[in-house]
Structure 1
């Protein structure tokens, strides 16, 4: 599993001998039980690295985005030295949420009583300071959150003892190394989009290509049909990957000279556990970071980033950006409709389990195995 040549399975070839011939889907209550939702969010999002978005969306000191680590509010902030720092998003005085949305600021000011913090979270301003003991407020700072930037994405964790993201995703980075994802230009980001569905249903949808031909009739389906799926390496505990390749007639012009013939025709579909979704093709990447809100509600932060090779050398880069954004907006809307209909169907509450396609939905089983592993640990 060392490089892209591991993509050596196609629909006309058998998978590994240990590949299951029959797989069942999770029961409906998996997506409707509020107690299970709370337990899984806590056991997973409090104990693993979580993807929150693209580092390039915050290019300058003071640029920030607010996000949720599970259901815990956080601030992700570009620092004066160029690094990215993540902090708990509440004031040390009376717990007021400090920042909303995304933007840029020179300092963090609580809207309630104007307690003021530096960009690194250090408390520097307290109105009516004489009302507090100096030893209680001097030298305190917003609670730091472990942060790592990798492949152009920002990952955060409550824990400081986890294997670094760069190590846990080293196999993925080897497969995608020629794309140089950390150099992609972040041109389109949607920070808040509420999907009326369980976060796991959304994840399931994005990591399989069985639905592509049938759901994405107005967007990517004709160019990347289900029949051209190529299976990737299986068994990595941290991610899944396969390719939903282009048809010959829809093969795009390629501007990255480092890509080989296989990489030029593939649309890699990757799930980075527990909440990151990344679809990579030669000229752009479509990504999503999921934030569970309730058992049937999820914020889907998503965006489109473009290859720096393409942006520098294609004839009309801005027109291309507009066209791709339009197509992916349609594709995302198509996904959203189907996932919300899955949630509505699951509300029936049947004890009968559905079936997974073997092998097109193998990736769902791999993700579910990850969820069970962390939920039971």
Structure 2
């Protein structure tokens, strides 16, 4: 038995077994398979991780104007991300405080949000502005029924939200990685749009591990990624327990490498990059929702949203220097670039699907790590801290 019957806690036995996954990479073992398959574990993670950590919901440029908004659902919590009348990004629950209907879906531009069920009307800041026919309801005060607010922080052009009003600021916990992004000027870079893969059949942690796994780089992706081989993976900044980013670099065999059939860049290279930065990619995890990577001519991100213990939605986007979009051939180049990326995506999807299937087996191992998997140990340490911090003796009793 690995979890309590109500799914709100992890057992002492399971928590103790995690010591083996946070040791040095030369001696550590992989995480217990049940962490990837159990509904109770996801229920625990929802409270211990997703309700307490900073969650990336997209790019700020998606809502450039006052009144712009979009919706996103994370672990069954529908949210509205909007730019309010003061021009600031805000985040709030999309659940009407009358009868719990979702007040809006999709995206748009509005001055207010009107619930279609009974026409309760909310401002861009979530305040309840109007509630028809409530004048006979005793002690009813509109000020008490606004849409619940979340904390918001912007970092490198991304919007993060947090359900925990007392959470520490995000940016200081990402400082290990920010020097690697300085020359990309991501706040002024451009993401032309995103697309979403729905109900992919693997656990969210499988996704994170695969994204930052240098060990499989030119093994699973043999030929298509030989320019960025596994043995050129480096882990440049020592892990710190107060960090919310896990990252590595992947060196190239030549300058201006690209993840396509030519092994060369297709788009305009970010002009401020150094020669060193043009001969590597970085691969970073900002759990539990953002996987982010860089290349000389583009950055790429995956927003990971669990839909069940063994399924996720993945929103995928690419980021370019503004000059790339000025190229008359941008659309054609984008097709070429995406064709190359799809080779990686298909290979990764096949692998992660089969890994998830294997994790359900009675023979699923607690395997051993290669030195090229140092990032996994760092991810384990991030995870285990929060598992233990969210698991209380009273709940386990």
Question: Would you say same fold, with TM above 0.5?
Answer: yes
In the TM superposition, residue 330 of structure 1 has moved relative to its aligned partner by 3.9
Secondary structure in structure 1 of the residue aligned to 2:372: coil
Aligned to 1:240: 246
The answer to whether 1:307 aligns with 2:321 is yes
Matched, 1:291 2:305: yes
Partner of residue 228 from structure 1, selected from 227, 232, 236: 232
Alignment counterpart, residue 327 of structure 1, candidates 311, 335, 340: 340
Q: Which residue number in structure 1 is paired with residue 8 of structure 2?
A: none
Q: How far is the alpha carbon of 1:202 from its aligned partner?
A: 0.7
My pick for the range that moved more, 123-132 or 196-205, is: 123-132
CA distance in 1, matches of 2:124, 2:346: 36
Moved more, 119-128 or 193-202: 119-128
Matched residue, 2:210: 205
- Aligned twin of 2:135: 130
Show structure 2 runs of 5+ residues with no match. Answer: 1-22, 258-262, 390-397
2:276 corresponds to? 262
Aligned residue pair count = 357
Flag structure 1 segments of 5+ consecutive residues without an equivalent. Answer: 1-17
Q: For residues 17-55 of structure 1, what are the alpha-carbon distances to aligned partners after superposition, in whole Å with 9 as ceiling and x for unaligned?
A: x95323311122121122122112210111121112211
Question: Which residue of 2 is the match for residue 363 of structure 1?
Answer: 375
In the TM superposition, residue 114 of structure 1 has moved relative to its aligned partner by: 1.8
Q: Specify whether residues 191 and 108 from structure 1 end up closer, same or farther in structure 2 by C-alpha distance, changes over 3 A only.
A: farther
- Cα deviation for residue 192 of structure 1 reads 5.4
Question: 1:95 is paired with a residue of what secondary structure?
Answer: coil
Runs of 4+ in 1 over 4 A off after TM superposition: none
The one of 19, 34, 40 equivalent to 1:35 is 40
Cα gap change, 1:167 to 1:234, in 2 (>3 Å): same
Using the TM superposition, give the Cα deviation of residue 366 of structure 1 relative to its aligned residue in structure 2, in angstroms. Answer: 0.9
Residue 337 of structure 1 is aligned with which of 319, 329, 350? Answer: 350
Task: Decide whether aligned partners of structure 1 residues 295 and 169 sit closer, same or farther in structure 2, where only a CA change above 3 A counts.
Answer: same
Alignment TM-score, normalising by the size of structure 1:
0.86
Give CA-to-partner distance per residue, 1:74-107, whole Å, 9 cap, x none.
1111223321100012001001122223343342
Asked if the contact 1:255–1:309 (Cα under 8 Å) also holds between the matched residues in 2, the reply is: no
Structure 1 Cα separation of the partners of residues 334 and 178 of structure 2: 25
Q: Over aligned residues, Cα RMSD in angstroms? A: 2.4
CA–CA distance in 2 between the matches of 1:298 and 1:257? Answer: 36
Structure 1 residue 188 corresponds to structure 2 residue 193: yes
Give the alignment's TM-score, normalised by structure 2: 0.82
1:169 corresponds to: 174
How far has the Cα of 1:337 moved from its partner? 2.4
Deviates more, 1:104-113 or 1:44-53: 104-113
Q: How does 1:47-196 map to 2 (within 5 A)?
A: 47-133=52-138, 135-138=140-143, 140-191=145-196, 193-196=198-201
> Distance between the aligned counterparts of 2:319 and 2:227, measured in 1?
20
The 8 Å contact of residues 130 and 142 in structure 2, kept in 1 or not, is answered as no
CA–CA distance in structure 1, aligned partners of residues 339 and 86 of structure 2: 36
How far apart in 2 are the matches of 1:136 and 1:279?
Answer: 48
Deviations 1:85-132 (A, max 9, x none): 000120010011222233433421212112111222121232324343
- Paired residues of 2:25 and 2:377 also in contact (CA < 8 A): no
